[in-house]
């Protein structure tokens, strides 16, 4: 191997990992690498306007494609600005590798200009992180970072590279294989446990599938569909699981949890067997832990042993990959079909009950002549037929999207589920648009959230990324307002916010701006926006009083929903 600089090694490893896009922001410490990327036309380099957005964009790219998202930023503030993005990806198990540059090794620990201990800062919110002090370790550590990010339970990995390391010479080879003695995730589910689970299912009369983001990350949606149909089991998704099962399917109950459907929450409460796959019993999904599914036994399939019996004690734990586990369960069923005769007879009653819940309290809203956010989202679904990639921000906009947009395919929803990061959706939609230049990518935002990363309009315009941002503008931080209305005596402290004229803002950046104030304008305006080929803000003035229902108040049991 001829000697190369650390910066050259960096580019070589990116190529060996098949990286076609990086989201980046330059600074003093990145310059050796930046310069090295000068003529690399095979690697798209999307320069953002704030490092947080670089990470969200890489995250959106990863969620939409299933590949590892990559970003590169400078030391100090560049590095610390990535933290929210990293924590977002960590909570949602999204594979990204974040490269931060660092001050020279000789200056580390000296409070040097633009120095921050980013490895120390991100230790609790990365799957793993590295400081590369020796250029000879650079290829191995970079390869390990990609390997760790994409395997097992995926997650963000940070690699901190001092500037002198990017200049130092090495003849180190790029390793082809990665071996980490303390890290060998277990993909294969235990056959005995699968059998036990299936035997329990055969005796069950009211089973339900509760599935999460693990279905998406292990690409198990077709297996899930087959399994659910074969055994005629109703399915509820977490927010992270949306798109993992077709939202239009008769077995689909909608999302469960705090803003889940009545049918999903009642079905969980009355079920005698929950099959949880790639979901982690988050408090927003379960409601009060002690009263979650009081009548049910629980089978839990997850790649991460720490997710199992963390908040809810499970009866049959199965550590392994969702896709492999579902395949094994399907195999078992096909071999032992006759054992399920009683099961198929008795499950009819369960479906009748569920149908009753579905018709008693469907997801709904009142049409009163005012412009309702739910109406707008229904229209977005009608026009796109579920084919668009939809990002959301966080709050009411996110919950209405989860409720009223029917996600049919995996990797079509980009949303910060675990951390709940406002400002996530817009840069994430930019990341997805870079990956899929010809697809329609829409961010459903609120007037609060969009202002947390509104500067990325410049990125969208500069790189011709025609993302559509639908701002559900109600003049409030809507979810905070909703809690204040319901639980704080309608004292709207801090939640009434001033916003600029979003149409003019968009135009000032060189993007398109449109406004909708009445129901009749919605369809035409959306169609126009979706076809204009430009980054577009659509400022939708919705009824400011609209709340998200049903709602399980924080700390209450799932069955105790507020329905109106």
How do the residues of the chain divide into helix, strand and coil, expressed in percent and rounded to 5? 45, 15, 40
**479 noted as active-site residue:** yes
Q: Closest CB to another protein among 190 and 559?
A: 190
Token code pair at residue 373: 């956010």
Q: Could you say which of 44, 67, 190, 534 contacts another protein (CB under 8 A)?
A: 190
> Which candidate, 94, 7, 12, 10, places its Cα nearest to that of 57?
94
By CB under 8 A, tell whether 177 contacts another protein.
Answer: no
Q: ∠ CA 443-435-245 to the nearest 5 degrees?
A: 65
Residues 6+ apart with CB under 8 A from 189: 301, 318, 319, 320, 321, 324, 325, 328
Q: Could you say which of 1, 18, 171, 306 contacts another protein (CB under 8 A)?
A: 306
By CB under 8 A, tell whether 162 contacts another protein.
Answer: no
555: left (phi over 0), alpha (psi -120 to 50) or beta: left
For the window 191-210, what string marks contact with another protein as x by the rule CB under 8 A?
A: -xx-----------------
Site residues for another protein, window 109-138 (CB under 8 A)?
119-120, 123-124, 127-128, 131
Going by the DSSP 8-state scheme, the letter that residue 190 receives in this structure is P
Q: Could you say which of 12, 20, 134, 304 contacts another protein (CB under 8 A)?
A: 304
For the window 252-291, what string marks contact with another protein as x by the rule CB under 8 A?
A: ----------------------------------------
Would you call 503 exposed, middle or buried from its count of C-beta atoms within 10 A (0-12, 13-18, 19+)? middle
112: Cα separation from own chain's centroid: 36
Cα–Cα dist 445/187, whole Å = 37
**141 noted as active-site residue:** no
By CB under 8 A, tell whether 105 contacts another protein.
Answer: no
For the window 313-352, what string marks contact with another protein as x by the rule CB under 8 A?
A: x---xxxx--------------------------------
Q: Beta strands of 386-490 (E only): which ranges? A: 389-392, 413-414, 441-446, 468-473
> Which candidate, 386, 458, 448, 402, places its Cα nearest to that of 427?
458
For the window 21-40, what string marks contact with another protein as x by the rule CB under 8 A?
A: --------------------
Token code pair at residue 73: 């930023």
Cα–Cα dist 347/364, whole Å = 28
Min CB(531)–another protein separation in Å: 47
Min CB(27)–another protein separation in Å: 24
Q: Closest CB to another protein among 185 and 420?
A: 185
**114 noted as active-site residue:** yes
127, 163, 323, 406: the catalytic one is: 163
Min CB(250)–another protein separation in Å: 34
> Which candidate, 287, 374, 358, places its Cα nearest to that of 552?
287
**113 noted as active-site residue:** yes
By CB under 8 A, tell whether 305 contacts another protein.
Answer: yes
- 186-194, 290-298, 417-425, 436-444 -> range binding another protein (CB under 8 A): 186-194
Q: ∠ CA 320-323-329 to the nearest 5 degrees?
A: 85
H-helix or E-strand containing 240?
none
Active site residues: 51, 113-114, 163, 479
**Where along the sequence are the contacts to another protein (CB under 8 A)?**
119-120, 123-124, 127-128, 131, 148, 180-186, 189-190, 192-193, 304-306, 308-310, 313, 317-320
């Amino acid at each position: 191997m001829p000697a190369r600089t650390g910066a050259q090694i960096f580019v070589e490893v990116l190529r060996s990992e098949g990286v076609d896009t990086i989201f980046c922001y330059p600074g003093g410490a990145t310059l050796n690498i930046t310069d090295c990327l000068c003529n690399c036309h095979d690697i798209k380099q999307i320069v953002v306007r704030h490092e947080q957005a670089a990470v969200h964009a890489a995250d959106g790219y990863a969620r939409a494609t299933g590949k590892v998202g990559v970003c590169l930023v400078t030391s100090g503030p560049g590095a610390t600005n990535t933290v929210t993005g990293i924590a977002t990806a960590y909570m949602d198990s999204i594979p990204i590798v974040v490269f931060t540059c660092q001050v020279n090794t000789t200056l580390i620990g000296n409070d040097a200009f633009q120095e921050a201990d980013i490895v120390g800062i991100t230790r609790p919110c990365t799957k793993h992180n590295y400081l590369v002090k020796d250029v000879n370790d650079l290829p191995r550590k970079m390869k390990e970072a990609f390997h760790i990010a994409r395997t097992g339970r995926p997650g963000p990995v940070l690699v901190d590279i001092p500037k002198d390391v990017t200049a130092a010479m090495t003849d180190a080879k790029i390793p082809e294989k990665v071996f980490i003695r303390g890290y060998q995730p277990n993909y294969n589910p235990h056959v005995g446990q699968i059998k036990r689970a299936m035997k329990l299912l055969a005796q069950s009369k009211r089973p339900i599938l509760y599935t999460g983001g693990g279905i998406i990350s292990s690409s198990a949606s077709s297996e899930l569909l087959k399994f659910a149909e074969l055994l005629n089991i109703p399915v509820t998704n977490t927010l992270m699981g949306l798109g993992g099962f077709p939202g239009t399917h008769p077995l689909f109950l909608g999302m469960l949890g705090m803003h889940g459907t009545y049918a999903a929450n009642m079905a969980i409460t009355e079920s005698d067997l929950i099959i949880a796959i790639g979901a982690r019993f988050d408090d927003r999904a379960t409601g009060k832990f002690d009263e979650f599914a009081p009548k049910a036994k629980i089978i839990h399939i997850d790649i991460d042993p720490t997710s199992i019996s963390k908040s809810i004690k499970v009866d049959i734990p199965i550590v392994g990959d969702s896709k492999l586990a579902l395949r094994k369960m399907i195999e078992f069923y096909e071999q032992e079909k006759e054992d399920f005769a009683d099961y198929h007879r008795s499950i009819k009653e369960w479906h009748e009950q569920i149908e009753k819940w579905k018709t008693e309290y469907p997801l709904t809203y009142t049409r009163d002549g005012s412009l309702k956010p739910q109406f707008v989202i229904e229209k977005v679904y009608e026009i796109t037929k579920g084919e668009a990639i939809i990002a959301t921000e966080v709050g009411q906009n996110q919950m209405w999207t989860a409720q009223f947009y029917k996600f049919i395919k995996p990797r079509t929803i980009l949303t910060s589920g675990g951390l709940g990061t406002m400002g996530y959706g817009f840069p994430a939609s930019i990341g997805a648009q870079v990956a899929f230049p010809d697809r329609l990518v829409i961010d459903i935002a609120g007037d609060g959230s969009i202002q947390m990363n509104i500067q990325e309009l410049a990125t969208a315009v500069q790189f011709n990324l025609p993302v559509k941002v639908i701002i559900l503008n109600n003049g409030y931080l809507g979810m905070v307002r909703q809690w204040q209305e319901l639980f704080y005596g309608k004292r709207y402290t801090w939640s009434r916010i001033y916003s600029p004229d979003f149409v003019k803002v968009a135009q000032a950046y060189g993007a398109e701006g449109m406004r909708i104030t009445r129901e009749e304008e919605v369809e035409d305006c959306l169609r126009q926006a979706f076809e204009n080929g430009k980054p577009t803000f659509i400022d939708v003035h919705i009824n400011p009083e609209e709340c998200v229902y049903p709602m399980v108040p924080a700390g209450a049991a799932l069955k105790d929903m507020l329905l109106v």
